[in-house]
Amino acid sequence: MSTEQQLFAESLESVGVETRRVPPAGVTDAIAELLVGDTVAVALDRDDVSIPDAVTVDPTPAELHAAQTGVTPAAFAIADYGSIVLPSTAVGSELVSLYVDHHIAIVDEQDIVADMEHAFDRFDREMPDAYGSAIVATGPSATADMGSLVTGAHGPSTVGVVVVEG
Amino acid sequence: MATEGDAVRTNTQGFNQGRYESVADLDEYETVKDEARTIKEDAIDRLPELIDQLRSTVENNGGTLYLADDAADANRYVRTVVGDGSEKTVVKSKSMTSEELNVNEALEADGHDVIETDLGEWVLQVAEETPSHIVAPAIHKSRAAIAELFEEVFSPTEPLETAEELTVFAREKLGEWIQEADVGMTGANFIAADTGTIALVTSEGNARKTVAGTDTHIAVAGVEKIVPTVEDLQPFVELIGRSGTGQDITSYVSLLTPPVETPVIDDTDEETPLSEIDDDREFHVVLIDNGRMAMREDDDLRETLYCIRCSACSNVCANFQQVGGHAFGGETYSGGIATGWEAGIEGLDVAGEFNDLCTGCSRCVDACPVNIDIPWINTVVRDRINQGHEENFDFLVDGLTPDNEAGSPPLQKRFFGNFETVARLGSTLAPVSNWLAETTVSRQLLHRLLGIDPRRDLPTFHRRTLIDRFQDRETTVDTPRRRAVLYPDLYTNHVQIERGATAVRVLEALGVDVAVPSVPSSGRAPLSQGMITTARSHAERISDTLAPYIADGRDVVVIEPSDLAMFEREYERLLDPAAHERLATNSYEIMEYVFGLLENGADDAPLRDGDGTEVAYHSHCQQRTLDVEAHTVAVLERCGFDVLTSDVECCGMAGSFGYKSEYFDVSMAVGDELRDQFTAPETRERTVVASGTSCLEQLDSLLERRPTHPIELLVDRSPTE
Ligand code: SF4
């Protein structure tokens, strides 16, 4: 593992995110292990990985509404914060990662950048063309407004990350 | 004065502690802060140009930019966008700027439903209260209070008790509103002019849903939120969470370039896959001037516009921790920087209602991620309020207040501002002045006329001042290793003479030729009352008096940290650059100076051997801001003392603050924290030392033990003396 990958793994752990690091062929099983209940997904943009059959890819709004878990690809990840960058796309990545109680993000090992500075280099390069909007998401949604820290305020209460080797 | 109890204190102190830990983890924290500051300075400098650039970017992206002159103008525009034809549901994510506009009321008057989706904001909406903190708006509400509120308003079928239960309840209720909503309204933490990208820093995910779940997005933001480029967002993203709640980063930083591409869905649609649903969305950014462009032209208020509303200055502030943002705040904003915001947006009257809660302790200066001199803004606004004040007390004012103020500050301020005269008179008339001052009649008079709290002990003046004692005395050192002026601050000169004499003795023991010339007071007293003209004349006199000594190769050694802070920090605003530089670079805090002497080879044999004596040390606020508190600890440890340091931000006295009747309770509440620390089992038996005169006075009233200045521990009392 490179330093970045190592750091990313440690940061994810400290923000309470469960991680699987697998070769492309292992992605299906990794998702299957992490998902909870009815699961919907956004199509992954690579041919060598697949999503478990039980998962509804490209769901209808009603299916999304009923689902407990959402699977989406991440644009990239930021090692020292344990953040995943979720692009807002026309196929509804933002909805599938947000309107569920459990979110699973799939990120390519090559797409782990070291720190915020590198992340913003990348935003600057990619944002105008590849996607206009993105969320830097770190750990689950949380609030302290009700007297103590609670996860799962409006967004997911748990987050899992599958890092694809190679 | 109204305080808000435990919830505010516990939460702000938690955030503050979190900040210390989180910024310690950030490599090059100071550099990142400087970067952030530079970006803001540049952005505000080029603001008109950036607004134009942003307008064309937003329009190219397919949105609209509206520049509103004031709140009414902004609300008029928002109402048109929402539409007055039919009743709509507007969901909002947290935005202080929208609080400033009172946009909810404006929309509700048109018959729309406006729902706050941030859990804290929603609690306040249900309770019909206003935010008491700029980041955690419902910080003053305890879990029990929220449970009670929900019980009363919603009569839930299952009783709600735990934070989890309350959160789930709120999430479900709000989820239904979001599903119904027609319009989503957000604020913006930052907006990049080059791409039109809005950064929203949140943790709950409600801002994401507010945008993704509606087909009309209105973002309201002050004009000062614009930064030139997307890359400029980086330092702010790294600083804002750490500075505020002490999180390295919040759960979500949305970087939205609206209108966003996310499909606009109807939850009941069972037919159409997401990828086939349109993303037709309207986007409006409403930029608000509301006094900001005028602040930009104002040399003293301009810095306020660099504020990123992180709340560090509230959380670090000992007074804020006690009273909360309803008391320490104006119409919208709260905490130290609120004085700048409210003065610029609402006017001096509103700022004047809470401005005196800033004691100028300067703990916020290091905390602010964009290096805003918050105490200076408070001082300037206080000065402006004084200018507009009229009070007629000529019979007293003439003799006691020979200040240079053009206006007529309130008598209490003039009294404290002219404390040098009071002290001089006190010494001249001592001991009669001391007896007189302590009579019941005088205490009542002082209370009635000047608002000096009768529960405070008054200083005891000495007839023979430190200057009287040492001015004409020859040095005892033959071949000095250094030569110095011991600065006779007001208190050391008139009240704490022995402390001054001890300082001379220690310095001479370490081979320093010490002079104690007659020098005016630093101007700290008038400055803290907002009497800037008077403070400036003190600064100029000090500079003129000390210049020949400095030119002659003498260092300036200062016992009172708040005076050292004047020389190093505030004089930058009061003197010409060369004069400030001369004094700032040649001045040292006394223990810092002793540290330097010892480091450079002075023999510590003449100093007292601490021999493991256990000491509890409280450093002065300004001393910490100047980074010279560690020297005291180092010197004491080198001399064999066992030192334990307090970690409260302030003792609560803060110069004249604690003497004022209206603030006595706050001052003592702040002091209680220090008392608790110094009466805990591990500190109970320790000798108490503190560097600041105010701190010593406060500790004296808090504890049964008598506190002392660290320099007094260094005097060798062994038989060999
Ligand atoms: S003044 Fe500085 S510390 Fe205070 S809220 Fe603004 S940015 Fe934060």
- B519-542 pLDDT, tens digit per residue, is 999 999 899 999 999 999 999 999
Query: Which chain A positions have a beta carbon within 8 Å of B120's beta carbon?
Result: 143, 145
Is ligand 1 within 6 A of the CB of residue B8?
no
The kind and range of the H/E element at B413 are: helix B411-417
Is ligand 1 within 6 A of the CB of residue B365?
no
Instruction: Say if residues B314 and B127 touch (Cβ distance below 8 Å).
Output: no
**How far apart are the C-alpha atoms of B334 and B328, rounded to whole Å?**
6
List Cβ neighbours of B181 (8 Å cut-off, separation of 6 or more).
Answer: B89, B90, B91, B115, B210, B213, B214
Cβ within 8 Å, pair B205-A133: no
Whether pLDDT at B31 is above 50: yes
Please check whether residue B647 touches A, CB under 8 A: no
As a whole number, the mean pLDDT across chain B is: 91
Instruction: Say if residues B652 and B320 touch (Cβ distance below 8 Å).
Output: no
Mean pLDDT of the region A122-149: 89
pLDDT tens sequence across B439-464: 777 777 777 777 888 888 877 878 88
pTM of the predicted structure, to 2 decimals:
0.93
Instruction: Say if residues B209 and A98 touch (Cβ distance below 8 Å).
Output: yes
Query: Which chain A positions have a beta carbon within 8 Å of B229's beta carbon?
Result: 124
**Minimal CA–CA distance to B524: which of B400, B423, B455?**
B423
What is the predicted pLDDT for the residue at B444?
Answer: 77
**How far apart are the C-alpha atoms of B674 and B706, rounded to whole Å?**
14
Nearest residue, CB atoms, A135 vs list B123, B208, B257? B208
Nearest CA in chain B to A130: B261
Which residues of chain B from 92 to 121 reach within 8 Å of chain A, CB to CB?
A: 117-120
- How many CB atoms are located within 10 Å of the residue B139 CB? 28
Nearest residue, CB atoms, A146 vs list B163, B260, B265? B163
Cβ within 8 Å, pair B230-A145: no
Alpha carbon of A44: minimum distance to chain B alpha carbons (Å): 13
Cβ within 8 Å, pair B208-A61: no
Cβ within 8 Å, pair A61-B265: yes
Q: Residue B479 Cα, ligand 1 centroid: separation in angstroms?
A: 50
Mean pLDDT of the region B127-134: 95
How would residue B472 be classed by pLDDT, with cut points 50, 70 and 90?
Answer: confident
Cβ within 8 Å, pair B260-A88: yes
**How far apart are the C-alpha atoms of B147 and A144, rounded to whole Å?**
14
Mean pLDDT of the region B14-22: 95
Cβ within 8 Å, pair B163-A154: no
How would residue B1 be classed by pLDDT, with cut points 50, 70 and 90?
Answer: low
Mutate to test the interface with A, among B203, B229, B230, B247 (most CBs of A within 10 A): B203
The one-character DSSP state at B569 is I
CB hemisphere CA count around B219 (13 angstroms): 30
Mean pLDDT of the region B572-585: 97
The DSSP bridge partners found for residue A150 are: A143
pLDDT tens sequence across B356-391: 999 999 999 999 999 999 999 999 999 999 888 765
What is the predicted pLDDT for the residue at B282?
Answer: 95
Looking up tokens 């919907």 gives A40
Whether pLDDT at B720 is above 50: no
Nearest residue, CB atoms, B238 vs list A116, A139, A149? A116
Nearest residue, CB atoms, A150 vs list B164, B257, B258? B164
Going B553 to B559 to B563 to B566, the CA torsion angle's sign is positive
Please check whether residue B143 touches A, CB under 8 A: yes
Q: Which two tokens stand for residue B559?
A: 């016992």
Alpha carbon of B138: minimum distance to chain A alpha carbons (Å): 7
| A117-146 CB burial, b ≥16 within 10 A, e <16 | bbbbebbbeebeeebbbbbbbbbbbbbbbb
Higher pLDDT, B86 or B635: B635
How would residue B395 be classed by pLDDT, with cut points 50, 70 and 90?
Answer: very low
Q: What is the residue type of B222?
A: G
> Which residues of B153-211 form beta strands (DSSP E)?
183-186, 190-192, 198-202
> Going by CA atoms, what residue is nearest to atom 2 of ligand 1?
B368
Cβ within 8 Å, pair B262-A94: yes
**How far apart are the C-alpha atoms of A74 and A88, rounded to whole Å?**
10
What is the predicted pLDDT for the residue at B436?
Answer: 66
